[in-house]
Structure formats: structure tokens, C-alpha cells
Amino acid sequence: MTRPRRERVPAALGLLAGLGAAFFILPLAGLLARAPWGDALTALSAPETLEALRLSLVASLTATAVSLLLGVPLAWVYARVEFPGRNLLRALTTLPMVLPPVVGGIALLLAFGRRGLLGMLLERGFGITLPFTTAGVVMAETFVSMPFLVLTVEAGLRSLDSRYEEAARTLGAGRWTVLGRVTLPLIAPSLFAGAVLSWARALGEFGATITFAGNFPGRTQTMPLAVYLLLESRPEASFILSLVLLAVSLAVLVGLRDRWLGSP
């Protein structure tokens, strides 16, 4: 009785697994099939495309740099410092991963907008407004992408043998030397994986950006925004741009696979 059942299960699993894979592959195949390859060069070399691509790269790389600057210390605190409310704080700072990005954009407006909690002070005190600026794009992208870096680096720090840091201290290394010459180099794979993941997330960011930073070519119109708006006027061009985004993301994920799975 048990034998035939045992033989049947892998087949059913295989079928479901195949369906699961097809569910992801078919939309991509559709994009590939419907893309007007003949117009690809024209669509890609259009000034507004290049402008959006440039802005996307600048903003996403800046967002990644900001994520590293603020996210690594945050991950360090989560991994090394015990304090009441740590889990709650971690959950709060991880929220953007599951929050609809538009909600994130609204939240950013309410905090950093002209009438926001802090934004009001910024405008009155320093004349700084963040919505509708490239800085606003960077903020929106950082908001949604930094959690990826924080979680990855925290995991790396937790799996690091902290006795290496003790060994460094017995050799006379102070806090910063230990951090710079031992801790960070040892968690380099996690740092790299976290940075690339958060960069990829920033590159694809749409909802928070359009909500918080609006849409203006050359200033706040990133690739995903251009794709979305082109879909209405020139769908073919938007297919091509979608493929560019897709190729970048795929390259990142394939390149990252080994490091991600084999992270220390």
C-alpha cells in the first residue's frame, strides 16, 4: 500500500513545482515575446530613457551608500546590544519590506513633507524641501531598501565568531581598529550581499518614489516610473525598458546566488 503512494508523491511534487516555476517564467517569456526588438535601440537611446537610467543609477547607488552608512551600525546594534524593545525596533525598521511602497511614500510625506513632522522644521529653518527632489528619490529608495541590508548584515554579524574580535583586542586593537580590520572584513560576504540586494531593491523602487518625490524627467523620474508612464503612451518602449530592469536584476540575483546561499 505504501509503495505506490511513495512513487506517486514525487510526480505530484514535480508537477506542482513545474507549475510554480511556469508561473514565474511565463510572464517573463511574455515580455520577451512581445518586446519590439527592432525598436530596442531607438527606445534605449532616447534622451528621456538615458536620463531615467542615469537618475536611477545615481539615486540607487546613493541610496545604497546611505544604507551602508546607517544600516551597518543599526545591524551591529541589533546583533550585539541587548536592550529592551530591541525586537520591536527591529520589526519597525524592517516594516518597509512588507509595507506597500505607496504607504511608505505617504509616511515619508507625513514626516519629511512640507507639512511633515520634521519637514516643516527643515523648510522653515533651512529652506530645505525634500519632495519633488532627487534627494527625495534617494530617501524613498533608502526607506524601502535599507532593511534588506540591515537584516543581511545582522545575520552575518550573528554568525561571526566574536573570538576573532577578542583576539584582535588582545593584540592592542581598539574598537574602531577591530571594526575596520577584523569585523567588517570577516562579514564582507554579508556586507556585499546586503548591499547588492538593497541596491537591486532601490533600483526597482516605484511606489514610494512616485508618492514622495513625484515624477519629473531628469530630477525624479527613475526607470520604473518611466516604464509605468510609457506603458500608457508607448507600450513597446516600456517593454524594452522593463527588459533592461529585468536583465539588471537577473544579473544581480544570479551573481549573488552563491554568496547568498553560502553566506558565512
Partner 1 sequence: MRRFFLLALAAVSACGSVPAPVSPDKAGGDLSVFAAASLTEAFKAAGTGFKAAHPGSNPTFNFAGTPTLLTQLLQGAGADVFASADQPNMQKAVDAKLVAGAPRVFATNKLEIVVGAGNPKHISGLADLARADVLYITEAPDVPAAKYAAQALAAAGVKPAPRSLEADVKGVVSKVALGEADAGIVYVTDVRAARGRVSGVAIPDAQNPRAGYLVAEVRAAHNPYAARAFIDYLLSAGGQQALQGFGFTPP
Partner 2 sequence: MSLAAEVGLQLGRLRLDVSLAAGGAEVVALLGPNGAGKTTFLRALAGLVPLDAGRVELDGVTFEDPVRRVFVPTERRPIGVVFQDYLLFPHLSVLDNVAFGLRSRGTGRKTADGRARDWLERLDLAAYATARPDSLSGGQRQRVALARALATDPRLLLLDEPLAALDASTRAEVRRDLKRHLASFEGIRLLVTHDPLEAIALADRLVVLESGTVTQSGTPAEVTARPRSQYVADLVGVNLFRGAAAGGVLSLAGGGLLAVADAAAGDVFAVVHPRAVAVHRQRPEGSPRNVWRGRAEGVELAGDRARVRVSGEISLVAEVTPAAVAELALAAGGEVWISVKATEVAVYPA
Interface residues with partner 1 (CB under 8 A) are 109, 113-115, 131-132, 210, 213-217, 220-221, 228-229, 231-233, 235
Q: Read off φ and ψ for residue 58, nearest 5 degrees.
A: -60, -50
CA distance 255 to 209: 27
- Among partner 2, partner 1, none, the one that 163 touches (CB under a kind-dependent 5 to 8 A) is partner 2
Q: Residue 183 CB, nearest distance to partner 2 (Å)?
A: 11
User: What is the sign of the dihedral through the CA atoms of 107, 196, 189 and 139?
Assistant: negative
Q: Residue 194 CB, nearest distance to partner 2 (Å)?
A: 18
Q: Residue 162 CB, nearest distance to partner 1 (Å)?
A: 46
Residues binding partner 2 (CB under 8 A): 161, 163-164, 166-174, 177, 181-182, 185-186, 188
- Among partner 2, partner 1, none, the one that 181 touches (CB under a kind-dependent 5 to 8 A) is partner 2
Q: Which three cell numbers stand for residue 241?
A: 525598458
Q: Which is nearer to partner 1, 78 or 239 (CB)?
A: 239
CA distance 120 to 37: 48
Q: What does the radius of gyration of the chain's CA atoms come to, in whole angstroms?
A: 22
Q: For the chain, what is the total number of helices (H) and then of strands (E)?
A: 14, 0
- Among partner 1, partner 2, none, the one that 167 touches (CB under a kind-dependent 5 to 8 A) is partner 2
**CB contact at 8 A, 65 and 172:** no
Q: Which is nearer to partner 1, 106 or 256 (CB)?
A: 106
CA distance 64 to 135: 13
Q: Which is nearer to partner 1, 120 or 173 (CB)?
A: 120
Q: Residue 172 CB, nearest distance to partner 1 (Å)?
A: 53
Q: Please name which of 137, 148, 161 lies closest in space to residue 217, comparing C-alpha atoms.
A: 137
Q: Residue 48 CB, nearest distance to partner 1 (Å)?
A: 11
